[in-house]
Amino acid sequence: MIPLGGVEEIGLNMTALEYDSDIIVVDAGLMFPEEDTLGVDFIIPDFSYLLQNREKVKAVFLTHGHEDHTGALPFLLKALPVPVYGTPLTLGLVKEKLREHNLENAELIPVMPRDIVQVGVFNVEFVRVTHSIVDGVGLGITTPVGLVVHTGDFKLDPTPVDGQLMDFLRFSEYGERGTVLLMSDSTNAEKGGFTFSEKEVRRAFEDIFAQTRGRIIIATFASNIHRIQQAIDVAVKFGRKVILCGKSIVSNAQIALNLGYLNIPLDTWLTLDDLKNLQDHEVVIITTGSQGEPMSVLSRIAIDEHKHIKIKEGDMVILSAKMIPGNERSIGKIINHLFRRGAQVVYEKVSEVHVSGHASKEELKLMLNLIKPKYFMPVHGEYRHLVYHSMLARKCEILKEHIFLMKDGEILEISETEAKKNGSVNSGRIFIDGKGVGDVEEMVLRDRLRLAHDGIVLILLGIEKLSGTIVSGPDIISRGFVFEDVSQDVINKVRELVSDTIHGLDKEMLSDASLLKAKLRSTLKKYLRDTMDRRPMIMPIILEV
């Protein structure tokens, strides 16, 4: 068992199972950047280990269609075109992404819950789970050393919107049969109690709809088909029409509709063009942007830059999604803007308009009780989530030495008689910035962080190569350092300092560009630190002519 990602972070979920000459991969997810990965669009796991063993890799199994489980797939398939197994909605969503990467010919094999697939030595059964996306599955993987169960992302929703319950029978049978290893979702291992059912959101929607006379705008994740379904159902109940707004939400809804996962009466689904013909109390707009993403429909509505939707007094905006840590401030700004334009806004903090898709402590213990695994590997979490999950496992009588807190790339070797960590393979994070894959590395990010903090100061100097005579400059140019219009004196002082430094040097030093650069850099660095307490990047540029 080699988790290539997902055990040191929320995201990057990807695990390899290897036996002799066979490798199968569970999920291939991306991760959204953090504040210190400046300018990076997203991150994928380093899967070079799979490429080094390309003959062994037989297939990828997807547990569900969220990007933290599927987003690295295009990059993997480009390098390693192997079959991909998944349920219909998962593959429907993935197909869309693959098309953007010109991977229409990828081999996607649809499976249904309880289907069984034999790939190499691995016998893989798909087991339905409930989660915040339709068509999620866990995996029961029979290997030569015993049964390995991977929960995928799950919660125990007693009343799922589509009525498709978690497959308690299969999971219990796995427990009865004897499971060697359980890998289980740790996202909410810090949270006590049970996670509420998705159906609870419907109640909140109904309350809001009942009190609202104006237009209703609901922002949620485009992949949350159940949430969209509930918004539609409540809209129908209250005689409102539904307008889906935004590329991803329209595309996902269409995919779900085609596969029969979404149910929307024909006369309910209208388009933005119909908006002008509707009365306010007839309108529900469902859109994206619940995380404050700057280019999303909701952001554009909030700052009044959307062509068709202008907020007015009486509008009701529902942010039906978790505020993901790190996004609160941008979300907060959007809420302020919407209020300022006269809308009423409700969100997770003030109303029950969102429930999590991940199991809380009691559900996690129940899963541990169903499976009763010999060994346990908490996955899908940062270290603290794995620790809290392992405490739950201890409560469920799993031996301490049978619980493995892994790092990305670490190998857990399991035989019939024992399990132990045994070294590790290449792993890490690949940054995707624009069209570049992996050309932004730590050093580049360090530079960006530095530039972001105090900007850059350039010292320009033209020197005659042989004589060491200054023929041009010194000139000082800065960006992101001080506002030059009002701080001309700072720039002047810097120029003076550089001039003085240069004039204090002998010809020999002047003719050695690298020595001269080092001298200028250290002098200016010290000066700016002492006088201004700032540390801009300093770049002496010496043109020798």
The residues annotated with a catalytic role in the active site are 185, 358
Helices (H), 323-465: 328-340, 361-371, 383-395, 442-454
State CA 257 to chain mean position distance. Answer: 25
| CA distances for 191 relative to 170, 187, 194, 356, angstroms | 26, 9, 8, 11
Residues making up the chain, counted from first to last: 545
Rounded distance, CA 313 to CA 344, Å? Answer: 8
Give whichever of 110 and 438 is closer to a second copy, judged by the CB atom: 438
Q: How far is the CB of 318 from a second copy (least distance, A)?
A: 14
Q: What's the min distance (Å) between Cβ of 62 and a second copy?
A: 27
Q: Are strands 429-433 and 42-45 parallel, antiparallel or unpaired?
A: antiparallel
Residue with Cβ nearer a second copy (54 or 329):
329
Min dist CB 86 to a second copy, Å, is 28
- The neighbouring-strand residues paired with 381 are 9
Judged by CB, which is closer to a second copy: 92, or 536? 536
CB of 162 to a second copy, least distance (A): 31
3-state secondary structure of 184: strand
Q: Which stretches does DSSP call E strand in 31-173?
A: 42-45, 57-61, 84-86, 108-110, 116-119, 122-128, 137-143, 146-150
**Smallest separation (angstroms) from a second copy to the CB of 294:** 11
Token pair 């596969």 in the structure block, residue: 259
Q: Compute the Cα dihedral for 272, 277, 280, 284 and give only its sign.
A: negative
- Shortest CB 13 distance to a second copy, Å: 17
Q: Kindly state the smallest distance separating residue 325's Cβ from a second copy, in Å.
A: 4
For a second copy, give the closer residue by CB, 428 or 438: 438
For 172, half-sphere exposure in the C-beta direction (CA atoms, 13 angstrom radius) is 4
What backbone torsions phi and psi does residue 346 show, to the nearest 5 degrees?
-120, 150
> What are the structure tokens assigned to 431, written together?
């940054």
* Beta bridge partner(s), residue 117: 124
Q: Report residue 250: phi and psi, to 5°.
A: -65, -45
Number of CB atoms found within 10 A of residue 192's CB? 8
Contact 24, 59 (CB under 8 A): yes
- Whichever of 372 and 450 has its CB closer to a second copy, that residue is 450
Give 119 or 458: the residue with its C-beta nearer to a second copy.
Answer: 458
CA dihedral for 234, 238, 241, 246, sign (positive or negative): negative
Based on CB atoms, which residue is closest to a second copy, 163 or 325?
A: 325
Nearer to a second copy, 293 or 382 (CB): 382
Pairing of strands 216-219, 316-319: parallel
Residue 289, both tokens: 């942007």
CB of 81 to a second copy, least distance (A): 24
Residues contributing to the site for a second copy (CB under 8 A): 8, 34-35, 38-39, 190-191, 325-326, 328-329, 332, 335-336, 339-340, 345, 349-350, 382-384, 387-388, 433-436, 438-441, 443-445, 447-456, 458, 460, 462, 471-473, 477, 479-483, 486-487, 490, 531-534, 537, 539, 541, 543-545
Whole-angstrom CA distances from 273 to 240, 313, 497, 545 are 16, 21, 64, 64
Taking the C-alpha atoms of residue 91 and residue 105, their distance in angstroms, rounded to an integer, is: 13
| CB closer to a second copy out of 303 and 541 | 541
Any bridge partners for residue 463, and if so which? Answer: 470, 544
d(CA 428, CA 425): 10
CB of 405 to a second copy, least distance (A): 9
Q: Which amino acid is at 363?
A: E
Q: Kind and range of the H or E element at 411?
A: strand 410-414
